[in-house]
Chains A and B, each alone.
Chain A
Amino acid sequence: MRYFPLGDTAVVVEFDTIIGSSSHEKVRLLSLYLDQHPFAGMIEYIPAFTTVTVFYDPFVLRYAEARAELKRAVSQAAHIVVEQKARTVEIPVCYGGKFGPDLEDVASHNGLTVEEVVHIHSGGEYLVYMIGFAPGFPYLGGMSERIAAPRRSSPRLSIPAGTVGIAGMQTGVYPIETPGGWQLIGRTPVPLFRPDMNPPTLLMAGDMIRFRPITQDEYENWEGDVVCVSE
């Protein structure tokens, strides 16, 4: 574990330098602790795979004090007992067709049929390691390497919100329209970014997610944004 500054307004705690479930758990506990016990001068924090970066106001406290506050929070967070089990969020996805124009490429790249790719992708359970890059964009762990596929050689200028993609060993869902180089395999009708709600995102670090295949008809007639959440 290591502490270091990020510029003159932030202090970082790094639990590890490689991604793993133990550092993920520490990031999650510290996040929960900081939500409930922000220290004086703290502005906000950004959790990532193995780090938590806390932004503070140097007018209120300097780096050495901010680091001491963060150290204290880290030691307190270690004692948190989380009784609630991680949520499992089920995300409906219409695979292939106009929603997943690269599904066939992903299949042929791996010597699989389209049905096999869908089966493998929707059969997995994925851990949301962190949210970042775009509002509600989940960095997921747990995708099978059997469906891994390289990024597209030239990125698309615009990918619609809700699109599910694969890049290397990663999979994820674009919450808002954005340019991107991922292989697109499907789309969900469920909004991941909900600016009118608090929190404004469907997914949070620590959630488990599953993808459930739906037909184009189900996609087009999807009502509300009910998502099956199981314990």
Chain B
Amino acid sequence: MCIRVKKPGLLTTVQDTGRFGFQKYGVLASGAMDTMALRLANLLEGNEEQAAALEITLLGPQLVFEKATLVALAGGNLSPAVDGVPIPLWRPVYIPAGSMLTFGGAVSGCRTYLAVAGGICVPDVMESRSTYLRAGIGGFHGRALQAGDVLKTGEVACLMKAPSDEVSVLSWGVSHEIRPAYEENPVLRVVRGPEFESFAEESRQKFWHESFRVTPQSDRMGYRLADVSLALAEPLEMVSSAVSFGTIQVPPEGNPIVLLADRQTAGGYPRIAQIISVDLPLIAQVKPGEHVRFEEVSLEEAQALYVKREYDIAQFKQGLALQVR
């Protein structure tokens, strides 16, 4: 089963849940910006949740499917349509052979994930299929998709039988309770970073009470925030140390940077806060120009939310297993 890329869109890459175990060698984790959307789209297809899927950014591609298959989209709503017929997100959609998937405008969010039954088939590089753009490895030949590329998909154990030769939306999907609570200009929950106390009192207050604008100088590596400048109480001699997905660091000029999927492994700027894991999908869907605010939660609360989310996913998986049987 093959997918032919007619138009690549703005930035379409193969991603999975990330490349772990090699950060000690300086190798970035990469992976989906919105791993929840990727995991849920995969589950709808009967794939392993960490299977490779396409991460589609803002301006979607045009993709032709050689054979009938099941697809599922999740994340931002970039107006997907099959042969001109709009299709929903968060549900498996059966599409007939020769169908073309296209995208229109971004209705909400800025990244959507396309999972295909069997997963996107690309070689493992360091135990992951994620594209690491800067090093040119992983994913599809280490790069974003281009017109003319042909992607293979994996074997499908049991593709639900074709209801007809028309596009059809299957009857089950991901309920609202399990989906990330996306919104424009979101409030993001954070825990304090290791250097929080080193910031000037006034800057700490600003951090909690003001709204930050996401600038166009934002990408998979990090979002640069503007409009509010933060300062340390006194100069701090920092020794480079690990950073992670969601770390908010503040370089000397004062504008914070939120580190994301393609972050480097270590950094030397003070870390004022860290976005909690369950809210990472929200920042991943923020478009440049939107605003974000930060709200403090305790580490215990952050971890309780994480555990609850994983239970919800486990329950969803069980429900799906019954559905598909």
Contact = CB atoms under 8 A, between A and B. Distances in A.
Interface of A: 4-10, 12, 14, 17-19, 31, 43-51, 53, 55, 58-59, 62-63, 130-137, 139, 175-178, 193, 195, 199-201, 204
Given A8-B302, A58-B303, A200-B126, A44 B310 contact: no
Interface string B247-278: 10000000000000000111000010011110
A134 B135 CA distance: 9
Interface string B221-265: 000000000000000010111111011000000000000000011
Interface residues of B, number: 42
Contacts of B277: 7-9, 58
Interface string B1-39: 000000000000000000011111111100000000000
B242 A201 contact: no
24 contacts: A7-B193, A8-B191, A8-B303, A9-B306, A10-B242, A17-B239, A18-B239, A19-B239, A44-B24, A46-B266, A48-B241, A48-B242, A50-B241, A58-B306, A58-B307, A59-B310, A132-B240, A136-B25, A136-B26, A176-B134, A178-B134, A200-B27, A201-B26, A201-B27
A102 B168 CA distance: 62
Nearest to A54: B242
Given A59-B307, A63-B303, A176-B135, A6 B26 contact: no
A63 B24 contact: no
Contact of A51 (B23, B134, B242, B302): B242
A43 to B, nearest CB: 6
Contacts of B137: 195
B306 A134 contact: no
Contacts of A177: 134
A135 B135 contact: yes
B303 A62 contact: yes
A9 B299 CA distance: 10
B249 to A, nearest CB: 11
Contacts of B241: 12, 14, 48-51, 53
Given A8-B191, A195-B126, 6 more contacts: A12-B194, A51-B241, A55-B20, A130-B240, A134-B134, A193-B135
B208 to A, nearest CB: 17
Contact of B25 (A5, A49, A201): A201
